[in-house]
A and B are shown apart, each in its own frame.
Chain A
Amino acid sequence: MTVATDDLEALLDQASSGIAFDGLHVAETDGEYALETPDGERAGLDEDALRDALAANGEYVTNWRYWQETVGGAGTARRAFLRWCERAPLADAADEATSTPWTEGDDGAAALAVPERYDALRDGIDREWGQLAITARFVDADDPDGERVYDLWHVDDADADLADLEVHDDPRDARELATYDADGRYRPLKTAPTLPGGWAFTGLSGDDLVETVEFFYPATVANWHRELRGNLDVDHWLETAERQTGIYDVIDELPREAVAWMAEACCVDSQCLRRREWEYEDGDDLDVDGGDGPFPCREPCSLVVAAARKWTTLESEEERTYELELTTSEINQLTELIDAVADGRTDEIREADVYDGANRYRARYLRAKRFDDEGELEATEVDD
């Protein structure tokens, strides 16, 4: 462990006003210093003795320097996120937030004190943020001076050889990487679980890491931090819908049961990594699971608002009764077809797998048999 002279001097500059950070306590009374760490307590130190005592506690000194001088930003989401990355205690976690998935002991691991954290940072501490795998590590693992850097890649590439990945160091590159899915389709929803892999950001500074993460998943760090502190501001469906104007003015007419179907269709883990915290209105929860996503969803997003407009129009239609002829297998096939599209499975169905009702030839056969000359399903509306 190296303690650079300027680390010590920086700390000594602050010592007289008192230091209490990550287990390191320094206090001054009448020119005498007291030093306390979880390993022990020394009192009655003059400045030279304090200097020697601090040099013997180098990990606490360099840790203080990194957080107070390099990272700074007391109370910011950026700082809290970087602390979370290395499993440091989160000073601003609210008591009432202890039941969220984001307190110190989340994913089964307790917050680490400085000595344990320093051991772990030599190898790297791994975290997952949606589909992002983040590693916090020392710049110099053999002789750490407290400076951390961060690596970032897709969770699916966690075991990949770096040489096989496209390496980036500019946070702005994340915008491009997040724009298309693996099939080259546009991803209008940044938190859709369709982020493609094949890339890595290595050796990022803390600031650059947060910027990169925010380009992949905008505003997730800020909302996570609010949830952590117990002041996430949730806007429920009705508030959001009633706020709309213009072409979206109508969406507050969407029936309550349709809002639930919409949430089930759009706001589940298979479609979005955000965890739905909004309900129909305050005190009136939707009977649909909000998912286990890592970041809170604090109000219906613009995609849900836009889709709600379509469903509001569709739900304004009256239900009618139709008569059509189908065999049992054919009506089952309709179910299979809807399921295949809803689960995004159509590309996986093999060309010759005629045993799957959503197979292309099976669908074409059904169309040939059951569609009329106008190309529509042959069905007759039944009068009441």
Chain B
Amino acid sequence: MQALVIAAHGSHLNPDASDPTYAHADTIRETGAFDEVREAFWKEEPHFREVIRTLESDEVFVVPLFISEGYFTEQVIPRELRLDDWDPEKWESDGTSASQATLEAEDVGKTIHYCGPVGTHDAMTDVIVQRAETATGDSDVGEGVGLSVVGHGTDRNENSAKAIEYHSDRIAERDRFDEVKALFMDEEPEVDDVTDYFESDDIVVVPLFIADGYHTQEDIPEDMGLTEDYRLGWDVPSEVDGHRIWYTGAVGTEDLMADVVLERAADAGADIGDAREAVRELAASVAKPEPNAGAGAGD
């Protein structure tokens, strides 16, 4: 038997923080690729600490629903899962290339394949592009359009910015969008000045965050000047400095994220059959682009 655990942050205060985790877990449950699928959280239940013991499978694939390699993926999750022999070196990563490490969970004697975060997987690039399609309602979006991938960024963890730049570079190489630029909340170049970095009239802004919350629904829209007050919502697109900005919300809510989770597990050796195809079809069928003004903020 094989099990999948999706490890996410969760929240003590915001009941919606776990929604993407549940949604992607349910999509994967529907494929039947794993005998057991569990959500696990740092701030909700089941906690990382107790999730493995709820499984009957001997082989467990743990996929962190986090954007970058850093404090949570390198320290908190392995420690709380009791992966005693864990060392970040086992990922042999340059900051965005972690794949997996095989370890044993001390409390249950199960084999744990501890995967790199979804945010740095190559398949994430496709999710960002898909979000640009759903945000604009144009499945061919690209020509004449600029794309900005926005991340948190933090001086404390250089990998935080690396993940954002990694996907920006990969999208730029595809020559699909006229311009591609990585922007950040907490470091230069800042998302506040988004219009300074683009010549294109239309700019799609995709925040590389797992869940919608304070950053994606309050900070970023106000910082970019989409709205005076996030509670009033904003238009998609919104006019800012002569540009049209297409902004919805966290990329982590995109249906195609389930595919990234599956790929992480498959890279670590999970037998997922044709589950990826099923998920990709499902994501394509529900990705009927429908720009959602304000993306739920303020309503």
User: Cβ of A98 < 8 Å from any Cβ of B?
Assistant: no
User: Cβ of B186 < 8 Å from any Cβ of A?
Assistant: no
19 more A-B residue pairs beyond the given contacts A298-B50, A302-B43, with a C-beta to C-beta distance below 8 A: A77-B54, A172-B26, A179-B15, A180-B15, A186-B13, A188-B12, A188-B44, A190-B44, A190-B45, A214-B46, A219-B45, A219-B46, A222-B54, A223-B50, A233-B107, A243-B79, A301-B45, A302-B42, A302-B44
- Mark interface residues in A86-110 (1 if CB within 8 Å of B CB, else 0): 0000000000000000000000000
CA of A303 to CA of B140 in the docked complex: distance in angstroms? Answer: 46
Asked if A299 contacts B49 (CB within 8 A), the reply is yes
Asked if B50 contacts A218 (CB within 8 A), the reply is yes
CA of A180 to CA of B53 in the docked complex: distance in angstroms? Answer: 26
Closest residue of B by beta carbon distance from A307: B12
Q: Which of B43, B54, B56, B79: most chain A CB closer than 10 A?
A: B54
User: Cβ of B293 < 8 Å from any Cβ of A?
Assistant: no
User: Cβ of A73 < 8 Å from any Cβ of B?
Assistant: yes
User: Cβ of A245 < 8 Å from any Cβ of B?
Assistant: yes
Closest residue of B by beta carbon distance from A188: B12
CA of A299 to CA of B15 in the docked complex: distance in angstroms? Answer: 23
Asked if A219 contacts B53 (CB within 8 A), the reply is yes
Given contacts A222-B53, A302-B43, contact A246 B71 (CB under 8 A): yes
Q: Which of B26, B43, B49: most chain A CB closer than 10 A?
A: B49
CA of A78 to CA of B1 in the docked complex: distance in angstroms? Answer: 15
Q: Which residues of B contact A186 (CB under 8 A)?
A: 13-15
Closest residue of A by beta carbon distance from B52: A222
| Nearest 10 CB-CB pairings of A with B | A218-B46, A219-B50, A218-B45, A186-B15, A188-B12, A222-B53, A219-B46, A190-B45, A222-B54, A179-B15
- Mark interface residues in B34-66 (1 if CB within 8 Å of A CB, else 0): 000000001111110111011010000000000
Min CB distance A90 to B, Å, is 18
CA of A284 to CA of B22 in the docked complex: distance in angstroms? Answer: 40
Closest residue of B by beta carbon distance from A225: B53
- Mark interface residues in B4-47 (1 if CB within 8 Å of A CB, else 0): 00000001111100000010001000000000000000111111
- Mark interface residues in A170-200 (1 if CB within 8 Å of B CB, else 0): 0010010001100000101110000000000
Q: Among B26, B47, B53, B76, which residue has its beta carbon within 8 angstroms of that of A301?
A: B47
CA of A92 to CA of B26 in the docked complex: distance in angstroms? Answer: 33
User: Cβ of B75 < 8 Å from any Cβ of A?
Assistant: yes
Asked if B12 contacts A302 (CB within 8 A), the reply is yes
Asked if A223 contacts B53 (CB within 8 A), the reply is yes
CA of A303 to CA of B10 in the docked complex: distance in angstroms? Answer: 12
Min CB distance A129 to B, Å, is 15
Q: Which residues of B contact A222 (CB under 8 A)?
A: 50, 53-54
Q: Which residues of B contact A354 (CB under 8 A)?
A: none
Interface size bracket, B side: 20 to 34
User: Cβ of A251 < 8 Å from any Cβ of B?
Assistant: no
User: Cβ of A127 < 8 Å from any Cβ of B?
Assistant: no
Closest residue of B by beta carbon distance from A240: B49
Asked if A302 contacts B47 (CB within 8 A), the reply is yes
Closest residue of A by beta carbon distance from B11: A188
Query: Chain B residues in contact with chain A, CB under 8 A?
Result: 11-15, 22, 26, 42-47, 49-51, 53-54, 56, 71, 75-76, 79, 107
Query: Chain A residues in contact with chain B, CB under 8 A?
Result: 73, 76-78, 172, 175, 179-180, 186, 188-190, 214, 218-219, 221-223, 226, 233, 243, 245-246, 298-299, 301-303, 306
What are 27 sample pairs from A and B whose C-beta atoms fall under 8 A apart?
A: A73-B56, A77-B54, A172-B22, A172-B26, A175-B22, A179-B15, A186-B13, A190-B45, A218-B45, A218-B47, A218-B50, A219-B46, A219-B47, A219-B53, A221-B54, A222-B54, A226-B53, A243-B79, A245-B75, A245-B76, A246-B71, A246-B76, A301-B47, A302-B12, A302-B44, A302-B47, A306-B43
Closest residue of A by beta carbon distance from B55: A222
Given contacts A221-B54, A226-B53, contact A306 B79 (CB under 8 A): no
CA of A299 to CA of B79 in the docked complex: distance in angstroms? Answer: 15
Min CB distance A343 to B, Å, is 21
Q: Which residues of B contact A73 (CB under 8 A)?
A: 56
Q: Which residues of A contact B26 (CB under 8 A)?
A: 172
Closest residue of A by beta carbon distance from B106: A233
Q: Which residues of A contact B14 (CB under 8 A)?
A: 186
Asked if B56 contacts A78 (CB within 8 A), the reply is yes
CA of A108 to CA of B272 in the docked complex: distance in angstroms? Answer: 48
Closest residue of A by beta carbon distance from B53: A222
Min CB distance B179 to A, Å, is 37
CA of A76 to CA of B79 in the docked complex: distance in angstroms? Answer: 25
Min CB distance B3 to A, Å, is 13
Asked if B22 contacts A218 (CB within 8 A), the reply is no
